[in-house]
Amino acid sequence: MQLISTGHDVKKSYFRFYSPTKAAPREPLNLIAAAEQHVLWKLQLGHHVHGRTKEALEASAIGQDGVCQLGAWIHGHALQDFRDTTAYRELQFAHTLFHDFGAAIVEKINDGDQHGAIEIYKNEYSLAMQHIIQSLTKINRLMREI
């Protein structure tokens, strides 16, 4: 199963992308959309890392793992049926790391340490993204079994 599609515009800013006032998705738990949002944000942050985008970013906002739809599901009741599963715990951990490393990348960029930002982006941040997708795939399988 492929969780990633290419049908979205990558040129969304962080705050439009993670806006807490954004309309709810059509489906109650659209795991594919949640994965896409994180992939698209990773690509957007990559533009910052490589100096192609100069929009100011705040590490403290990016580090909040509850501001995106997936974070709301993780911290809320949407995934409650899966809280005792390894897949849920892996997702929660990977998602927290994704936001923590995103904040660390922005701090490096804001401090003028492009090399440090690139290293985190290529390594830890990319691994966190992979783990989010793997965990969402596992949860998707569990959802089908219900």
Residue 12 forms part of a structural domain: no
Residue 1 forms part of a structural domain: no
Residue 23 forms part of a structural domain: no
- pLDDT tens per residue, range 16-59: 333 333 434 334 688 999 999 999 999 999 999 999 988 889 99
Picking from 13-17, 42-46, 80-84, 134-138, which range would have the lowest pLDDT averaged per residue? Answer: 13-17
Residue 19 forms part of a structural domain: no
Specify the number of domains making up the chain.
1
Residue 3 forms part of a structural domain: no
Distance CA 39, CA 34 (A): 9
**Domain CATH code at residue 73:** 1.20.120
Q: Which domain holds residue 91?
A: 30-145
Q: How far is CA 92 from CA 10, 33, 85, 87, 130, in A?
A: 25, 17, 11, 9, 13
Contact 20, 61 (CB under 8 A): no
SS (H, E, C) 40-92: HHHHHHHHHHCCCCCCCCCHHHHCCCCCCHHHHHHHCCCCHHHCCCHHHHHHH
pLDDT score for 73: 93
Residue 17 forms part of a structural domain: no
